Structure 1
Amino acid sequence: MTEPQLTATAQDYVKIVWSATEWSDAPVTTKRLAERLGVSAPTVSENVRKLVAAGLLDHRPYGAITLTAEGERRALEMVRRHRLIETFLVTHLGYGWDEVHDEAEVLEHACSPRMIDAIDTLLGHPTRDPHGDPIPTAAGRIVTLDGTNLAEAATGRWTVARLSDSDPAVLRDLADLGLTVDASIRVLGPDPSGGIRVETDEAADIVVPPATASAVWLVTQGP
């Protein structure tokens, strides 16, 4: 029997709750969801109430909003859809990595499970999207990345593992600076301007502004 399809609103809520905690320990609150979704707090409260009743979210008054086991399963379905579509758009349709997020936000609701599986097969079952984010498997398994934000990284050699795709302008800035996924860099330390000094293959010594640095996650290369 075909599984009931969630509404686009429910899909957005479970995905955003999951994504909000993928790279942050900050609790998901009504205010935080309202800011991410661009809607009013009362609208979020009403929708959260409905999703709690549907068994997808847990929420106690004045507490954090969390996913149930079923909510997490549904959220990972949406994350898988989004990241596979982004990968397809970049690798097969010529989109830039700074252009795909908003397009995928629309398409993820329209594609059937069969189409998503076909895209996955066509792409050779990729494990990361163009921004370095891990792609869940069809079974809902995901390999989480224990990354360090560039703004907090110690001096030394690192590899760029993931870039936040929330702001296309920041992605373009990162590309101009040579900070792309899998790039090898050396963090040199804080700059008096407030940014982070970094040495890359393309530039001997650059300064990454604070807002741009916060969009970069690294994994260590060792000494």
Structure 2
Amino acid sequence: MAPVASPAFDDYLKTVYAHTEWQEAPITPSQLAAALGIAPSSVTEMVKKLAAAGLVSHQPYGAVRLTDAGRDRALQIVRRHRLIETWLVSEYGYAWHEVHDEAEVLEHTISDRLLNAIDERLGRPRFDPHGDAIPDARGRAEREPFVLLADAAPGHSGRVLRVSDRDPGLLQQLEDAGVGVGARITASGPDVRVDDSPVTLPAGAAEAIWLTA
């Protein structure tokens, strides 16, 4: 069955893809419901539709996994979302905590022609403002070996590869603290060193920052 063009399908596929992008455990229906902010019963019905369309595989009460077709579609929408975020920051002066919701709307509306023009205009960027890899037109993305700051051994020092964009307020706090993609952090608990300066991270920051391994 040919996949159905649907913003709702795309949002589900993007969420399933993003869940395993920085860790290996597949997403469960309850986690999917929490990430999307919708009722578990609604997730159950949509997962059935996605499975019928050949976009995910799922057994009752089991994890949800993308099929090859689902992964291809997820990469397309992820590419759109991250290119738009990068465009808004680069061309329109948006802060990194302001772009997610705008991209959620625009990713479903702009044409492929405009998307390709944005990509060319920006010099074909490989990463968005939060450090997430932007897949190329063929769905290829690159990423260095990484470690979550919360899991880093004391004394580990690495560049910030990625900061989660789930909490705009946390992003603002981290920006005020001088923490951004490319900064060097030395792990030592809540009080870390950022580019050789001592910094007390806000609550939840260690679970939202990925460093080079």
- Distance in 1 between the 2:61 and 2:143 partners? 29
- Distance in 2 between the 1:17 and 1:88 partners? 24
Does structure 2 retain, via aligned residues, the 8 Å contact 1:151–1:210?
no
Aligned letter for 1:180? G
Does structure 2 retain, via aligned residues, the 8 Å contact 1:14–1:67?
yes
Identity %: 48
Aligned letter for 2:161? A
Deviation at 1:151, TM superposition (A): 1.2
Equivalences for residues 65-144 of structure 1 within 5 A: 65-144=64-143
- Which SS does the other structure have where 1:109 is aligned? coil
Equivalences for residues 126-165 of structure 1 within 5 A: 126-154=125-153, 155-165=155-165
Residues 193-217 of structure 1: CA deviation (Å, up to 9, x unaligned): xxx221123x732222440121110
- Distance in 2 between the 1:205 and 1:142 partners? 33
Aligned letter for 2:40? A
Does structure 2 retain, via aligned residues, the 8 Å contact 1:85–1:104?
yes
Residues 156-205 of structure 1: CA deviation (Å, up to 9, x unaligned): 32111111011110101111111111012322x22xxxxx221123x732
Paired position in structure 2 for 1:200: 194
Q: What TM-score do you get using the length of structure 2 for normalisation? A: 0.94
- 2:171 matches 1:175: no
- Distance in 1 between the 2:7 and 2:146 partners? 31
- Distance in 2 between the 1:33 and 1:184 partners? 32
- Distance in 2 between the 1:207 and 1:20 partners? 28
Residues 117-176 of structure 1: CA deviation (Å, up to 9, x unaligned): 111011110000011111000011111342111111121321111110111101011111
- Distance in 2 between the 1:16 and 1:10 partners? 10
Does structure 2 retain, via aligned residues, the 8 Å contact 1:173–1:212?
no
Aligned letter for 1:38? G
Going from structure 1 to structure 2, the CA distance change for 1:168 and 1:81 (only over 3 Å counts) comes to same
Deviation at 1:26, TM superposition (A): 2.9
Deviation at 1:77, TM superposition (A): 0.2
| Residue-pair matches, total | 211
Q: What TM-score do you get using the length of structure 1 for normalisation? A: 0.90
Aligned letter for 1:161? L
Pairwise CA RMSD? 1.6
Deviation at 1:4, TM superposition (A): 7.3
